[in-house]
Structure 1
Amino acid sequence: MDHFLYRDGALHAEDVPVAEIAAAVGTPFYLYSAATLTRHFRLFDEALEGVDHLVCYAMKAASNQAILTLLAGLGAGMDVVSGGEYARAKAAGVPGERIVFSGVGKTREEIATALAGGLRQFNVESEPELAEIDAVARQMGVIAPVTLRVNPDVDAKTHAKIATGKSENKFGIPIARARAVYAHAASLQGVKVVGIDVHIGSQLTDLAPFRAAYRKVAELTGQLRADGHEISRLDLGGGLGIPYERSNSAPPLPVEYGAMIREELGHLGAQIEIEPGRLIAGNAGIMVTQVIYVKEGEGRDFLIVDAAMNDLIRPAMYDAYHDIVPVIEPAPGAESRPYDIVGPVCETGDTFARARAMPPVGPGDLLAFRSAGAYGAVMASEYNARPMIPEVMVQGDQFAVIRRRPTFDEMIKRDTIPPWIGGNPAA
């Protein structure tokens, strides 16, 4: 469920007409619903009610400070994968004990920053990383809490570019080597093992891969405890998918996911950590764009819009599908026709949809890309010297710009010209 609905023939974000926001901020822009973000976080929190748990929002999905501050106020922890994300989490008021630091390439500087600022744990991805964390912690005179991320060699049945739990993926320690690596970790003076971490991929629409991975985690927990390790936390990652195509069957609900966790791991008495990102943010955001031209081509017609692949790269990178709907509700029975929906960037890959059936639309009409709240704004760039587009949040009948569009002058002034280049560009 989201809060982007037609009312009196116009698409609204909660109680605000989307067209009103477009008139105020210009297109294209991202638009988030605070009510949807809140609801989706609470669905996960309630799904694990009665279990000692922490829901850590995977902020790589959408990391605007307004989103993070909203979720932090609801009690969310944060799953971060870089020093920049750690800084954003702290700036949003998230205490260190609610920050989990993941990622395969933590630098020495990032490790030191997190140890100095406080964190819940490092999710360790490799033996060299474990050694580096130990060295930095000993140098600082502190003990680093760690879990080891195990790779369970489970096929998540998702897109190859977002699968993380197979043996050929770069993530984690092979589960067959886990006991040996845990034994080594226990011998180190700068780290303290607190649990196990696993994450098998993103946009999973079936619970079976989760179940297979968690059964392996349960077995490993028993083995490690028998070996004398204190396994008090199980970090289960995220990955639960969302329905990008509304005509498709719906993915499992958080309540079903929570029930499965209880079945497979509830008997272990460990604290459960989960790291949802896409399901919290995905359907909480849309991207709004305006049609520039309707072009008749040879054998196909095009809707050329003012958003581009640099604003929303998922279709170009993953062949991802997004529902695209007019902001003004089509008349009942309006006849649809197929269009390729494309942006203005000089790349054939700047195509959002091919032969997509659309009701009558023309130049100046507004379109909304649904389910764009996750991996939209965070993956955007300024390719073709196109400014990063604004982000806007609504709550009830209010809206606010939470990241403004930079001017061309601001973009240009970020660059510096070395003294050995002659001439005066401003002359």
Structure 2
Amino acid sequence: MALAQPMTADPELDDLLASRPALAMHAQDGLCFEGVPLHAIADAHGTPCWVYGAGTLRARYRALAAALAEAGLDVHIHYAVKANDHLAILGLYQTLGAGADVVSLGEFLRTQQAGVPAADVVFSGVGKSAPELAAAIAAGLGQINVESAEELEMISAIATASGRTARVALRMNPDVDAGTHEKITTGLADNKFGIPAQDILHLYAHAATLPGIQPVGLALHIGSQILSPAPYAAAYAKAAEMVRSLRAAGAEISVLDLGGGLGIGYGDEPGISLAAFASVVKKEVGGLDVELLMEPGRYLVGPAGLLLASVILEKQGAKRFVVLDAAMNDLMRPAMYDAWHGILPVSAVQLRAPRAPADVVGPICESADSFATGRDLPSMPPGARVAILDAGAYGAVMSSTYNARPRAAAVLIEAGKFHLITPRQTIENLWADEFLPPLAGAG
């Protein structure tokens, strides 16, 4: 089975619009997201501004759950908080029955603030600190995905000291190439994540002898933005083989955590086929008699968010630059991963206007502060607005205040109305927690 191929050419603006059911262009109101004009949101809360659609968030979750159910699978979905940790989104998924997958104490405490039961939280990550583990174990965390022999000893000591027992799964590194960008692969032997497969049998037996430890099964995660089921098939086949080997050695295995990484279409191409993914899960691990978990993030929230921005100016020279008020401090993915995001004018008139190539950039003093190169766009006068698409995952969570730029506002669209869920950071907030110590005078 061949890996899905990335885009070979930029899609047309009309194709970007047509391939996103939550978007519509109205002649008078301009670009609308879940029926709400983006101009209205920008008028009320300014730009740059994150915009999330509750209807799309729910639809993505239900589509994944339905595909798994139609394949005859009972898989408990744990939303990967690292993709977007906003309390409004965590709370929404909790109401749908999702658990959470966290990678820090801060993320864990966010899930608690949003009402996710501690017993429904999985703690992943290669570098959990002792204070983080102690707090999570004390709160009754559901499962810790252990990434090393050293971490297993830490957990045993912490759990024993507190008189508790920690449920753990060993994260196996299956050494499978997921076919993704090198910076988001997690399942290769030279990645920092997980335990080499050849060490699992010994370490699982050792875990069963440690005080404060209840080994319950295996976990794996092979990367992010995976567009083909083939890498999953390879990884899950190895996981199934390991489960059978562990049981043959007398170990008790009740849980298999399948990880996440389901890819989405950032252009006009489809993302991974949910039916094909579910079929792979069914074929490779459906008959293991284990509780199945999975940890999707990007698939659920990526298409459910966009970054609304305004044009500061067009700069003409050897190239045409469209300079936005959004920047790499808001959306880091293009600078970090060379990530491609669709960009649509919010104005219906501009969508139909003649187009010419332009580099879409931000105002930060870094050459990497660029959202797009050679993108066909109409003339964009100062104040014109654009929507940077599919920015719901790894957007706001990776933002910063670099160049002393306040963090953007965020709104959630629910049932045709928009609600402010994060106010725009004020400039004064940038130094509100800083102190000037006594300084020696000159001379």
Residue 58 of structure 2 is aligned to residue 38 of structure 1: yes
| Residues 218-262 of structure 1, C-alpha deviations (whole Å, 9 max, x = no match) | 00000001111111111010001000111x3x2323233122211
* Partner secondary structure for residue 60 of structure 1: helix
In 1, Cα distance between equivalents of 2:142 and 2:435 = 40
| Residues 76-98 of structure 1, C-alpha deviations (whole Å, 9 max, x = no match) | 10000000000000110000121
* Cα pair 1:51 1:271 within 8 Å, conserved: no
Change (3 A) 1:232 1:366: same
Structure 1 residue identity aligned to 2:90: L
* Cα pair 1:2 1:284 within 8 Å, conserved: no
Residue 236 of structure 2 is aligned to residue 225 of structure 1: no
Identify the match of residue 22 of structure 1 among 23, 29, 42.
42
Aligned to 1:376: 395
Q: How many residues align?
A: 420
Structure 1 residue identity aligned to 2:416: D
Structure 2 residue identity aligned to 1:346: C
Structure 2 residue identity aligned to 1:213: A
* Cα pair 2:345 2:351 within 8 Å, conserved: no
Identify the match of residue 286 of structure 1 among 293, 306, 319.
306
In 2, Cα distance between equivalents of 1:122 and 1:102 = 6
TM-score norm. by structure 2 comes to: 0.92
Measure how far apart 1:125 and its partner are: 0.4
* Partner secondary structure for residue 92 of structure 2: helix
Aligned to 2:334: 315
In 2, Cα distance between equivalents of 1:200 and 1:6 = 38
Structure 1 residue identity aligned to 2:267: E
Identify the match of residue 166 of structure 1 among 146, 171, 188.
188
Identify the match of residue 341 of structure 1 among 351, 354, 360.
360
Gaps of 5+ in 2: 1-19
* Cα pair 1:148 1:196 within 8 Å, conserved: yes
Measure how far apart 1:204 and its partner are: 0.4
- Which range moved further: 375-384 or 107-116? 107-116
Residue 225 of structure 2 is aligned to residue 203 of structure 1: yes
Structure 2 residue identity aligned to 1:343: G
Measure how far apart 1:138 and its partner are: 0.5
Identify the match of residue 386 of structure 2 among 351, 363, 367.
367
Structure 2 residue identity aligned to 1:408: I
Structure 2 residue identity aligned to 1:285: G
In 2, Cα distance between equivalents of 1:28 and 1:421 = 41
In 2, Cα distance between equivalents of 1:225 and 1:244 = 42
Aligned to 1:129: 151
Measure how far apart 1:350 and its partner are: 0.6
* Cα pair 1:221 1:231 within 8 Å, conserved: yes
Residue 132 of structure 2 is aligned to residue 113 of structure 1: no
Aligned to 2:121: 99
* Cα pair 1:47 1:259 within 8 Å, conserved: no
Identify the match of residue 306 of structure 1 among 325, 338, 348.
325
Identify the match of residue 93 of structure 2 among 53, 67, 71.
71
Aligned to 2:9: none
TM-score norm. by structure 1 comes to: 0.96
| Residues 85-118 of structure 1, C-alpha deviations (whole Å, 9 max, x = no match) | 0000011000012100000011111111111111
Aligned to 1:357: 376
* Cα pair 1:43 1:255 within 8 Å, conserved: no
CA RMSD of aligned residues (A): 1.4
* Partner secondary structure for residue 48 of structure 1: helix
Structure 1 residue identity aligned to 2:326: A
Identity of aligned residues (%): 47
* Cα pair 2:351 2:378 within 8 Å, conserved: no
* Partner secondary structure for residue 348 of structure 2: coil
Change (3 A) 1:36 1:148: same
Measure how far apart 1:2 and its partner are: 4.7
- Which range moved further: 250-259 or 205-214? 250-259
* Cα pair 1:16 1:396 within 8 Å, conserved: no
Change (3 A) 1:282 1:318: same
* Cα pair 2:174 2:197 within 8 Å, conserved: yes
Gaps of 5+ in 1: none
Measure how far apart 1:333 and its partner are: 5.7
In 2, Cα distance between equivalents of 1:2 and 1:141 = 52
* Cα pair 2:344 2:351 within 8 Å, conserved: no
| Residues 258-296 of structure 1, C-alpha deviations (whole Å, 9 max, x = no match) | 222111111111111010000100000000000010110
* Partner secondary structure for residue 166 of structure 1: coil
In 2, Cα distance between equivalents of 1:158 and 1:409 = 40
